[in-house]
Structure 1
């Protein structure tokens, strides 16, 4: 039987792998992004990284900080392209109020998880998260190693049969 790899779909632009290692993700939400034209063109070429980005709630609006969208070489010279500018996230008022309630808990934060296309629009998957302790990370690593060893052993047994 062929090995099934978990592939990132063709619609995914960027993925924050580190977030799931550092945080417990309790809930995920889909938010739209307010972008400029040159940013959309750069996203089509996947010239973005969201690993060091973070989300902040400020005056009943949610903003994405630290996401780096590199401008294309062919971008117009009259456009002032700031790769690390603050971008507004587009959410309903109800969703913002729910997020505000969750964030007021101790240790809770909002993390950018994935950037992707849906029907020609750029969406950002954000997660309501709590930080992991170092022993939680070690436990996750042990579990992942054990799962890998288990799969390897089962594969060897299946080949012998």
Structure 2
């Protein structure tokens, strides 16, 4: 039994969370109202491709229906070592795993005008693949300009504070 870690020690250690793909454009285009984390139903070759760090969620969005939530437009490229019959379709719709009450709540929120469900990040949580989602409302042009102004002001203040030291 020397060299092994007991199951209780494994349960106490924090799980490693490692990002795979982020949607950096979402922060610029949307105002986030609420964030969620969901599991994803994936095929084996998709997980292997994700472990290699190959994925894109820039054009992705989530569709909420009564029976569940689906991630559409996420691009997980084919796994090159798998044969042509074993591989997956890169942009297929993937089912997101949420609790029934969360799905119902999201369904009600998304029916409001201008509210959508946007994927923010794909990440490994231990050995599981998770998707961070946000209920979001699209920013208007003047909102984008004001947030850009605020970001620039913070940057200028940080520079000024750095020079004084």
Residue 61 of structure 2 contacts residue 119 of structure 2 at CA under 8 Å; is this kept in 1? Answer: yes
Alignment TM-score, normalising by the size of structure 1: 0.90
Query: What residue number does 1:79 align with?
Result: 86
RMSD between superposed Cα atoms in Å: 1.3
4+ long deviations beyond 2 Å:
none
Whole-angstrom CA distance in 1 between matches of 2:17 and 2:42: 21
Query: What residue number does 1:57 align with?
Result: 64
Whole-angstrom CA distance in 2 between matches of 1:118 and 1:72: 21
- Residue 71 of structure 1 aligns to a residue whose secondary structure is coil
Give the Å deviation of 1:58. Answer: 2.6
Match of 1:103 among 94, 106, 110: 110
Q: What does 1:1-161 align with in structure 2 at a 5 Å threshold?
A: 11-158=18-165
- Uncovered stretches (5+) of structure 1, i.e. residues with no partner: 1-8
- Residue 11 of structure 1 aligns to a residue whose secondary structure is strand
- Uncovered stretches (5+) of structure 2, i.e. residues with no partner: 1-15
Q: How many residues align?
A: 150
Give the Å deviation of 1:72. Answer: 2.2
Alignment TM-score, normalising by the size of structure 2: 0.87
